């Protein structure tokens, strides 16, 4: 009897063949679906993916499995390569909360105040910034600036986290991540009561009342490193639930509790194996950034990479 092939295995085989033909590399964010993470050449957080995109030598094509601003950042740092995003609708609502016209207006009201743009911004907003940051390095970046005040955008929660660790005045932007906003303090308290030995680890995009309950506040890359090195056997995790796949894969002897089943970023989940295959077959959807925006946006990212 002939066994039917698992459709996911078959798709992964087609992708592997095309990846070689196209000389492509697959970069995936830690929030991607498990099956995407499993076929990626490199998985990481925004900072790790930016560094990887800048250092790529071996590939002609980058297939970016993440959301639009991340693919744009890869194109800024690797302009000579073709960068494809399998679904151009994979946006970020937090990015959309800082439209470039409003950023320009606010900048004009604050002469002499540097703009620190979280990487979760569109390229045209990065082009308005003095320097970029990620959740892993936001405190370090703000503290590296000589000015007593900074405009931090678009995430008010990350900005408030930075404010706890700097003497500078952090002027906030009213943006937030809808996925992390769904993590609620009463849920954390309930889980802590159920698992008193568990360590609470949350992302700095969480609200301040959730952060107050955490033992560690870490970016996704830092969480993965921390989980490998920490003696903790059980961990309550406060971030997008895609990270649980990698945490469990890398630490099979440990237990990870998701705070809420609702912490799913629907945009991250738009990337599927089928769409990766179609992207490689049709060489779509190409990410392009006009030169007038790319030059200043790249400078803001490179400024960040020089500090960290």
Binding site for ligand SF4 (CB under 6 A): 31, 67, 92-94, 120, 177-179, 240, 265, 267-268
| Cβ nearer to ligand SF4, comparing 178 with 290 | 178
What contacts 279, CB < 8 A, 6 or more positions away?
63, 84, 85, 86, 285
Nearer to ligand SF4, 18 or 237 (CB): 237
| Peptide bond preceding 285 in cis form (omega within 30 of 0) | yes
How many angstroms separate the CA atoms of 177 and 265, rounded? 9
How far is 238 from 204, CA to CA, in rounded Å? 9
Least distance (Å) between residue 146 CB and ligand SF4: 29
Q: Are 113 and 150 in contact (CB under 8 A)?
A: yes
Between 179 and 187, CB nearer to ligand SF4: 179
Maximum CA extent, the chain: 75
Least Å from the CB of residue 155 to ligand SF4:
8
Phi-psi region of 85 (alpha: psi -120 to 50; beta: other; left: phi over 0): beta
**With respect to ligand SF4, which residue has the nearer C-beta, 30 or 163?**
30
Shortest approach of ligand SF4 to residue 239 CB, angstroms? 8
Sign of CA dihedral 124, 162, 109, 177: positive
Nearest to ligand SF4 of 12, 129 (CB atom) = 129
Q: How far is the CB of 190 from ligand SF4 (least distance, A)?
A: 23
Which residue, 59 or 157, is less far from ligand SF4 as judged by CB?
157
The least distance separating ligand SF4 from the CB of residue 193, rounded to whole angstroms, comes to: 27
**H helix intervals, 26-177:** 34-39, 46-55, 68-77, 93-96, 100-109, 123-126, 138-144, 156-163
* Token digits of residue 105: 């207006």
Min dist CB 240 to ligand SF4, Å, is: 5
Rounded to whole angstroms, the Cα distance separating 22 from 86 reads 15
User: Token digits for 267?
Assistant: 């945009």
3-class SS at 270?
Answer: helix
Q: Using the minimum distance from each CB to ligand SF4, give the nearer residue, 59 or 120.
A: 120
Closest CA to 169 of 143, 194, 195, 191: 143
**Taking the complex as a whole, how short is the minimal distance between the CB of residue 31 and ligand SF4, in angstroms?**
6
The Cα–Cα gap between 195 and 197 comes to: 6
Which 8-state DSSP code applies to residue 155?
B
- Give all strands of the β-sheet with 61-65 in edge-to-edge order: 42-44, 24-29, 61-65, 82-84
Residue 63 or 268 having the CB closest to ligand SF4? 268
């Amino acid at each position: 009897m002939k066994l039917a092939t698992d459709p996911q295995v078959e798709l992964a085989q087609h992708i592997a063949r095309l990846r070689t033909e196209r000389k492509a590399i697959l970069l995936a964010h830690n929030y991607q679906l498990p099956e995407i993470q499993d076929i990626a050449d490199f998985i990481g957080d925004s900072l790790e993916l930016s560094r990887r995109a800048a250092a790529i030598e071996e590939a002609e094509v980058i297939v970016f499995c993440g959301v639009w601003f991340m693919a744009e950042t890869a194109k800024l740092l690797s302009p000579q390569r073709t960068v494809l995003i399998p679904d151009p609708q994979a946006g970020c609502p937090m990015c959309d909360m800082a439209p470039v016209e409003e950023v320009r207006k606010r900048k004009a009201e604050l002469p002499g105040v540097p703009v620190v743009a979280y990487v979760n911004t569109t390229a045209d907003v990065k082009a308005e910034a003095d320097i970029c940051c990620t959740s892993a390095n936001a405190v370090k970046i703000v503290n590296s600036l000589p000015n007593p005040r900074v405009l931090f955008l678009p995430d008010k929660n990350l900005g408030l986290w930075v404010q706890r660790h700097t003497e500078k005045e952090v002027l906030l932007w009213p943006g937030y991540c809808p996925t992390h906003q769904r993590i609620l303090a009463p849920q954390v308290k309930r889980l802590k009561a159920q698992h008193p030995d568990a360590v609470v680890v949350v992302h700095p995009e969480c609200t301040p009342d959730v952060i107050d309950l955490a033992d560690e506040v870490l970016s996704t890359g830092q969480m993965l490193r921390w989980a490998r090195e920490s003696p903790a056997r059980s961990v309550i995790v406060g971030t997008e639930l895609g990270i649980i796949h990698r945490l469990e894969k890398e630490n099979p002897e440990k237990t990870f509790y998701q705070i809420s089943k609702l912490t799913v970023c629907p945009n991250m989940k738009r990337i599927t194996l089928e769409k990766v295959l179609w992207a490689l077959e049709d060489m779509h959807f190409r990410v392009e950034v006009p030169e007038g925006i790319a030059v200043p946006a790249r400078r803001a990212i490179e400024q960040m990479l020089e500090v960290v």
